[in-house]
Structure 1
Amino acid sequence: MRLNKALAMAGVCSRRKADELVFAGNVAVNGITASSPGIQVDPQNDIVTVFGKPVAFLPQEGQATEHAYYMLNKPVEVVTTASDPQGRRTVLEILPEEVRKRRVFPVGRLDFFSEGLLLLTSDGDLTYRMTHPRYHLPKVYEVLVRGEVTRDKLEAMRRGMTLAEGEKLAPVEVKVLDKQMLGKTLLELTLIQGINRQIRRMCRDLGLTVLKLRRTCEGPLSLGALPTGKLRTLTPAEVKVLKTAVAVGIPGSE
């Protein structure tokens, strides 16, 4: 099927608008930027993204309609994309084959040197809502830093900082969990924004060095004791509370 037709059938936009999105470099197929709206794609097996977000295609006749929902404890030195031009290991490559076959896609991102809770799903509607700024799902991180953590620095985070690049941040909830030897401090930060590398840039501007960054919660879900690199299926109850948090399937939620 032609790419522009597939996007139109998925309800993303018209074919003409799909052409514009492709020519602007905003559409990718299996992690590679699409070069033409006429390239052939398989909606049931190819991962198509628009502005970096996966497109949810309707299943063909005879195929299962149930979506897949997983939680992964992402290890460091893994990128949360379908492919990587630098040849680094991707999050999809570390998944079991039977999970990859379900065409799951990571919900949002954790950077290369960060670890912890990462959700993966084939549910495009849920992914869209969880990554949309209007829903402001809180995310909790444990951050081990080196440097002097003063009251002024904590208050700067709580008030809402302006990064060196000029981006204004919403207030961040921050707690000191543990003060360790050699000038190390374990912090817990709760964010409601999706600014790229926000925690690392905040710490940089405050003269703190991030030694370890681990996401422990996203919305109503918690990483718990899931080992690093391991994956588990979300329970029906977890899927329900997650959808409720972003109003999936609730009339009048748009």
Structure 2
Amino acid sequence: MDAIRLNKVLAQAGVASRRGADELVFAGRVRVNGAVAESPGMRVTPDDRIEVDGAPMPRKDLAAGHALNYILLHKPVEVVSTVRDPQGRRTVLDLLPQALRANTRLYPVGRLDYFSEGLLLLTDDGDLANRLMHPRHHVPKRYEVLVRGDVPTTALQTMRSGMTLPPQAGDPPAGTRLQTVPARILGIKDGKTLLELVLHQGVNRQVRRMCEALGLTILRLTRVGLGSLELGTLEKGSWRRLTKDEVQALQQA
């Protein structure tokens, strides 16, 4: 196998982002074969022993991209999008087989809140995860939102034109200005309206806050798309590995 850059290895292992890996190296916290690494660009191979803060990094983390794991999960409601929960609630990792959890360092790319469901990507490819979550790349996230009653045309127009969310703790005093959100009605039945919203930002609880500001009551919130990925017919609580083409499409996005 060809040697690859140290910072890329650290990022793929989930130790840090590429920039964070650079900082670890410059701080003298990374050793290769017992010697302090002097450059994040130094080349390493699977035979090299890498330590971060004195802890060895397993050799399996040095594998090329094909050995990394990319998992598409259909998260149910009342499951937290973290690897562990101090309150003892069920996490997304609890939905995966023990063998997969024991032999990898999977973590979710972004989050779905406790009462939301749908597509969640888990991976041990830290480099790709950091790029997908970085706001510079604007990877679109598509949601289907079931709300009570009718949705006024003015509400759709407000979302499409870019609205300002009322301020919450940590927000600017004037509130958070949103980018335009493509919004359309997918169907109306039994006094309920199904909306499709496409987001390009990472504002915390954005869909719920938008609907609350517009007087819409959410009955179900489902993420059905992330970039080129589609939830499709995957059952709640189920998971599958991404195909090679799906991984390549995410990397290109």
- Scaled by the length of structure 1, what TM-score is found? 0.74
1:129-144, aligned counterparts within 5 Å? 129-144=131-146
Number of equivalences:
207
* Counterpart code for 1:11: A
Q: How far apart, in 1, do the equivalents of 2:131 and 2:89 lie?
A: 28
Runs of 4 or more, structure 1, over 3 Å off, are 6-10, 14-19, 38-44
Specify the alignment match of 2:236 in structure 1: 228
**Matching residue within 188, 191, 201 for 2:196:** 188
SS of structure 1 residue aligned to 2:249: helix
| Contiguous gaps of at least 5 residues in structure 2 | 1-14, 30-51, 168-174
1:137-216, aligned counterparts within 5 Å? 137-165=139-167, 166-182=175-191, 184-216=192-224
SS of structure 1 residue aligned to 2:73: strand
Q: How far apart, in 1, do the equivalents of 2:118 and 2:160 lie?
A: 23
Q: How far apart, in 2, do the equivalents of 1:233 and 1:181 lie?
A: 36
**Structure 1 residues 69-109: Cα deviation after superposition (integer angstroms, max 9, x where no partner):** 11001111001111112221111122111221221111111
8 Å Cα contact 2:76/2:116 also seen in 1: yes
Specify the alignment match of 1:249 in structure 2: none
SS of structure 2 residue aligned to 1:83: coil
Q: How far apart, in 2, do the equivalents of 1:97 and 1:203 lie?
A: 38
CA spacing shift, 1:42–1:74, aligned 2, 3 Å: farther
* Counterpart code for 1:211: L
CA spacing shift, 1:225–1:82, aligned 2, 3 Å: same
8 Å Cα contact 1:116/1:228 also seen in 2: yes
SS of structure 1 residue aligned to 2:61: coil
SS of structure 2 residue aligned to 1:129: helix
SS of structure 2 residue aligned to 1:59: helix
Identity %: 50
SS of structure 1 residue aligned to 2:95: coil
Displacement of 1:148 in angstroms is 3.7
CA RMSD, Structure 1 to Structure 2 (Å): 2.6
8 Å Cα contact 1:145/1:185 also seen in 2: yes
SS of structure 1 residue aligned to 2:93: coil
Q: Indicate yes or no: 2:110 matched with 1:98.
A: no
SS of structure 2 residue aligned to 1:240: helix
* Counterpart code for 2:123: T
**Structure 1 residues 192-222: Cα deviation after superposition (integer angstroms, max 9, x where no partner):** 0110000000000001111100011100111
8 Å Cα contact 2:16/2:126 also seen in 1: no
Q: How far apart, in 2, do the equivalents of 1:239 and 1:94 lie?
A: 22
Instruction: Tell which deviates more after alignment, 154-163 or 10-19.
Output: 10-19
Q: How far apart, in 2, do the equivalents of 1:201 and 1:92 lie?
A: 27
